[in-house]
Homo-oligomer: A and B are copies of this chain.
Amino acid sequence: MLIPQPYLLFLGDVTDPLAAKTARGIHVWRPEQCVGEIKLPGCTVSLGLDVLDIATAKERGAKTLVLGTANAGGYLPEHWLDTVKGAIKAGMNVASGLHHRLVDEPELVALAQEFGVELFDLRHMRPKLNVGSGKKRTGKRVLTVGTDCSVGKMYTSLALEAAMRERGMKADFRATGQTGILVAGEGIAIDAVIADFIAGAVEALSPANDADHWDIVEGQGSLFHPSYAGVSMGLIHGAQPHWLVMCHEMGRPHMRHLPHQPMVSLKDCVEANLRAADVTSDNVQLAGFAINTSNYSEEEARAYCAEVSAEFGVPATDPVRFGIADIAALLQERG
């Protein structure tokens, strides 16, 4: 494990629950790795964890302070530094998903060295990588892909990991984004690697494994998103997936942040992803759809999932509302 767990989750002084998305994700998927939360005066957000000070968190075993909220601009506010320094002095590592790097603060670097702890800047980690080779490797791999950004690829991947483990399958989530990396304790922030190494990074992230072992690789972006399709393409080739799970938001009118960019049809999107995956993976198949239906009634959601399932002949579900057992079952059965 790259980032020592368990964590103390720092919520800063944010008031917008959405700003605590990262902390919330960690707590939802790895509650046993969260010893508590710590916040500054004015913070109105809570994860429902014990509110701890540094000393108590340390006593309870916290190994890393996670800056689990994003502030506007991604900067590290001056008034957060005391908490960060306190954690370092108590012997905790610090992990940050901010654009502003911890290692750009000489004072923090010196302090971390003095107290023998590490600073993890998740957006800036640059492991030594090779370019992808496309060589066939053992083990089974599922990749979550999407019609767009922010359609639940991480949630779906983690839900699938849980559902597969519940069925006794050997399954590991492979993180490609910063929240995922904090959940897993390791991974590669794929959108931060040098363009030439996208596929190679994913090959490194999901190496050859036992024949009955499943990697669930967290997808990013969409082949149809004008900003990020390069990342998605390299991810598909590098993951060498046997199965794809297509993630989608019901009723989304256009590509995220781009009103001029029409939403792709599910059919075109599935076809394009299967064709792209076929370059490195023979016989890749669609395992199902994970659909965010949160803007619709349960009745509408069920009808839509049934319609998609009928059209493509695979399970279609909202993993938040209805779970993802059907897709896990399909993977177990068809291998």
Q: Which A residues lie at the B interface, using CB under 8 A? A: 131-136, 190-196, 198-200, 223-224, 226-235, 237-238, 255, 258, 260-261, 264, 272, 275-276, 279-280
Contacts and interface: CB of A to CB of B under 8 A. Distances in A.
A43 to B, nearest CB: 30
Given A134-B258, A134-B261, A260-B134, A196 B237 contact: no
A227 B194 contact: no
Contacts of A260: 134-136
Contacts of A134: 226-227, 255, 258, 260-261
Nearest to A194: B192
A248 B203 CA distance: 27
Given A229-B237, A233-B233, 12 more contacts: A131-B228, A132-B227, A133-B226, A133-B258, A134-B227, A134-B260, A195-B198, A195-B234, A199-B229, A223-B233, A226-B237, A230-B234
14 contacts: A134-B258, A135-B258, A135-B260, A192-B195, A193-B195, A194-B194, A195-B231, A198-B231, A199-B228, A226-B237, A226-B280, A229-B233, A230-B230, A232-B233
A131 B227 contact: yes
A237 B272 CA distance: 15
Contacts of A200: 227
A230 B229 CA distance: 7
